[in-house]
Chains A and B, each alone.
Chain A
Amino acid sequence: MTKAMMTPQEAAQRVQQSVNKRYAAERRFQLIGKLAIATALGFLVILMSTIVSKGVPGFFQHYIQLDVTLDAELLDPRGDASVDSLFDGNPRKVLQQAVYAETGASGRKGKKEAFKLVSSGAQDRLRAMILDNPNLLGTTQRIWFAVDDDVDSFLRGYIKRETPESDRRLSDRQIGFIDELQAQGKIEYQLSDYLFSGSASRNAEMAGVKGAVVGSILTLTITLLLAFPIGVATAVYLEEFAPKNRLTEIIEVNINNLAAVPSVVFGILGLAVFIGFFGFQRSLPLVGGFVLALMTLPTIIISSRAALKAVPPSIRDAALGMGASRVQVITHHVLPLAMPGMLTGTIIGMAQALGETAPLLMIGMVAFIVDTPTSFVDPGTVLPVQIFMWADFAERMYVAKTSAAILILLTFLIVMNALAVVLRKKFERRW
């Protein structure tokens, strides 16, 4: 050796120096990580606070209190309180009387303007009330009706008093009525019951998410019923039984590719196959469920296969060594151990499906459907599509309702994720 080896003291000193450097690097690394998390959290907070602050007003709207005399002759012309008779009745007239009495409006124009303060949905509500309980006929009831959306916008300050009357959607006279009613405490800002009980509507004050929520539930039910069993069965077959050859390799690559296909493509497929070829009607939750199931399948298959792969081979050996058949090994041991992973994948897929708009637009679930679907083959829409439509409407009130609907959608997503966590915990506890 030409060069003398360094002394232990020297070595220790150098080690010390390098250690300091390493610690510094480690601290930098951790700092970067923390910054990244902080940025992500910051964005999340901004996002959530905007949605919440915009969305909360959407859960409320203004209501007007009216003393309505439920005139039996007007509402029940045949006098037998039958459905037919009630539908022949004239709730409009009853309502007009109540409004005129409350506002003291007079003259053709005054009466017309006064009646416009109340939502046009009030008549339906009145009729529904009588249908529910014919005993109310002939009595006088104090009822809260939603105000028209222009009135609501005025009360929220979106329509300004200072604007010249000709440019304003409310006349000076109407504003006068509103001021008076407000002074008497007959206009109140209340939790909106339309939001949860109403469906799509051209009248912003009557619009609600019920139809869309029901549509989403129906659609996702189909998706889950199809995608979960098919996805798990496919994963089990590919992972446990399929021979490893060219064909299965091609299948595997294609499944992975499908997971990356834009969702709208599945919509086109659904349009061509289910509606074009099989002749299903448009806008059906059934067809929506089919399309979303196709879209979700790759996600479920991939995550299920990963979960199956993660089951330790020693457990399979143990079961096989005991004389369990392949199917028994899978059903007794592999599936229970893989279930948490499969469920997580499924719920992630379902959450994607819940928030999906594009493929459903393709199969016509964007149609304007007022009735809440009652079965899988009733035309309907889904929550994200409803949000998409509302976001497009001009009325001021839809802005708040859109945010409110987004909040509802987010709530569903959070509930689903919580469900995933709970299910996972439940299965994991079985070791």
Chain B
Amino acid sequence: MDLVVDPTTEKPEERAVQIEETVGNVHVDNPRMRAENVQVHYGDKHAIQNVTIDIGANEVVAFIGPSGCGKSTFLRCLNRMNDTIDICRVDGRIELDGKDIYDPSVDVVPLRARVGMVFQKPNPFPKSIYDNVAYGPRIHGLCDSKAELDEVVEQSLTKAGLWEEVKDRLDQPGTGLSGGQQQRLCIARAIAVSPEVILMDEPCSALDPIATAKIEELIHELSSQFTIVIVTHSMQQAARVSHRTAYFHLGRLVEVGPTKQIFTSPQHSLTQDYITGRFG
């Protein structure tokens, strides 16, 4: 008789009962963003339940967890992209540099300039490479002259590791690049407005290993200047690029900790199961 229960056969609802408090230290010394008791509802569906976490300055935080656990939902709360979904309701408090971003007085336009976003599928505008990168600075009025704008475009593309590949064809459509190049173009576009935080939702899921390696390297370099939150399904990727890792499960934040610790000695049994590939 075998008494060990295979975790994958258990019903998720039953497992959810085991989650009460987030394991690990959710707070950091110098937070750039803080989320407190965040609840998200899509209509009746309770997609995020009571999540509290700090995102430290110049830190790379990885969100991991099984599909549908609410990683994207929570990430999209951080720059209020969920505002565009009619049925979505966000409660709780999310601060950027000490100020509540859901305060009625806050304008989402400047907020999104400070908290940029890179999406799962590369989505360059159907415009030229130059215009793609110049779009943010233009709409936010960051540059006074064409020369200044040229400078910003070059710097952003250089930081995104794309300058050498595209400098001779800046006037060609961004949609004509390869998938990996397009994703780096989207990153260049996001950093062109000098945001404080960059949110990345599975930025490498549509890319091959070489393009992925380039992006990971890029994230590593960008972390000296920006705060980065990355959602990923690849545990290796989380391990390679992030300083801290947060494990989500069924809308709850189960465990947070330094990446090394999460991957070597997870505290919660759910995290353990996920890390070891027994679940999710």
Asked whether B29 is an interface residue with its Cβ less than 8 Å from the other chain, the reply is no
Write the chain B residue with the least CB distance to A336: B126
Which residues of chain B are near A321, meaning CB under 8 Å? 79, 81, 112, 116-117, 119, 190
Given contacts A325-B109, A328-B139, contact A319 B84 (CB under 8 A): no
Measured between beta carbons, the chain B residues less than 8 angstroms from A322 are 112-113, 116, 135-136, 139, 189-190, 193
Say yes or no: A323 contacts B175, CB within 8 Å: no
Q: B123 at interface (Cβ–Cβ under 8 A)?
A: yes
Interface residues of A in 203-260 (CB under 8 A from B): 243-244
B186 interface hit (Cβ, 8 Å): yes
Instruction: Mark B226-252 against chain A: 1 for CB-CB distance below 8 A, else 0.
Output: 000000000000000000000000000
> Is A333 an interface residue, CB under 8 A from the partner?
yes
B214, CB-defined interface residue at 8 Å: no
Find the B residue at minimum CB distance from A326. Answer: B84
With A314-B119, A321-B79, A321-B119 as known contacts, state yes or no: A431 contacts B175, CB within 8 Å.
Answer: yes
Q: How many angstroms between the C-alpha atoms of A328 and B109 in the bound complex? A: 11
Q: Mark B133-175, 1 if CB is under 8 A from A, else 0.
A: 0011001100000000000000000000000000000000101
Q: Which of B127, B136, B139 contacts A431 (CB 8 A)?
A: B127
Question: Which residues of chain A are within 8 angstroms of B125 by Cβ–Cβ distance?
Answer: 315, 318-319, 333
Q: Which residues of B contact A319 (CB under 8 A)?
A: 125, 135
Is the pair B86, A244 in contact by a Cβ cutoff of 8 Å?
Answer: yes
Q: Mark B45-82, 1 if CB is under 8 A from A, else 0.
A: 00000000000000000000000000000000001010
State the total of A-B contacts with C-beta under 8 angstroms.
67
Q: Does A324 contact B (CB under 8 A)?
A: yes
Q: Is B110 an interface residue (CB 8 A)?
A: yes
Q: Does B121 contact A (CB under 8 A)?
A: yes
State how many angstroms separate the Cβ of A238 from the closest Cβ of chain B: 15
Q: Say yes or no: is A317 at the interface (Cβ < 8 Å to chain B).
A: yes
Q: Judging by beta carbons under 8 Å apart, are B123 and A320 in contact?
A: no
Which residues in window 293-339 of A have CB below 8 A to B? 312, 314-325, 328, 332-333, 337
B124 at the interface (CB under 8 A from A): yes
Write the nearest CB–CB distance from A237 to chain B, whole angstroms.
16
CB <8 Å contact, B123 and A315:
yes
User: Of the candidates B81, B116, B117, B126, which one forms a contact with A315 in the assembled complex, judged by CB atoms under 8 Å apart?
Assistant: B126
- Cβ contacts B28-47/A at 8 Å (1 or 0 each): 00000000000000000000
CA distance A321 to B193 in the complex (A): 12
Known: A323-B140, A324-B139, A431-B173. A318 touches B123 (CB 8 A): yes
Q: Does A3 contact B (CB under 8 A)?
A: no
The chain B residue sitting closest to A314, CB to CB, is B123
B26 within 8 A of A: no
Instruction: Return the chain A residue nearest B84 by Cβ.
Output: A320
Whether, in the assembled complex, B111 has its beta carbon less than 8 Å from a beta carbon of chain A, the answer is yes
Alpha-carbon gap, A328 to B112, bound state (A): 14
Residues on the B chain within 8 Å of A316, using CB = 84
> CB-defined interface of B93-128 with A at 8 Å, one 1/0 digit per residue?
000000000000000111111001101010111110
| A312 to B175 Cα, complex, angstroms | 13
Asked if A323 and B111 make an inter-chain contact with CB atoms under 8 angstroms apart, the answer reads yes
B205-240, CB < 8 A from A: none
Residues of A within 8 A of B119 (CB): 314, 317-318, 321
Residues of B within 8 A of A332 (CB): 135, 139
Q: Which residues of A contact B139 (CB under 8 A)?
A: 322-324, 328, 332
Instruction: Check A108 for interface membership: any CB of B closer than 8 A.
Output: no
Q: A430 contacts the other chain (Cβ, under 8 Å)?
A: yes
- Contact partners of B116 in chain A: CB under 8 A: 321-322
For the complex, give the distance between the alpha carbons of A320 and B190 in Å: 11
Give complex CA distance A28, B253 in Å: 60
In contact, B140 and A318 (Cβ under 8 angstroms): no
Complexed CA–CA distance, A337 and B175 (Å)? 14
A318–B117 alpha-carbon span in the complex (Å): 8
Shortest distance from the beta carbon of A310 to any chain B beta carbon, whole Å: 13
Nearest B-chain residue to A325, judged by Cβ:
B109
Query: Do B193 and A323 touch across chains, with their CB atoms under 8 A apart?
Result: yes
Q: How far is the CA of A319 from the CA of B113 in the complex (A)?
A: 11
Which chain A positions have C-beta within 8 A of B123?
312, 314-315, 317-318
A322 and B111 CA atoms in complex are apart in Å by 10
Shortest Cβ distance from residue A338 to the other chain B in the assembled complex, whole angstroms: 12
Q: List 28 A-B contacts (CB under 8 A).
A: A244-B86, A312-B123, A317-B81, A317-B84, A317-B117, A318-B124, A318-B125, A318-B186, A318-B189, A319-B135, A320-B81, A321-B112, A321-B116, A321-B190, A322-B112, A322-B135, A322-B136, A322-B139, A322-B189, A322-B193, A323-B109, A323-B110, A323-B193, A324-B135, A324-B139, A325-B109, A337-B126, A431-B175
Known: A323-B140, A332-B135, A431-B127. 5 other contacts (CB 8 A): A318-B189, A321-B79, A323-B112, A325-B109, A328-B139
In the complex, the 3 A-B pairs of residues with the closest C-beta atoms, listed nearest first: A323-B112, A431-B126, A321-B117
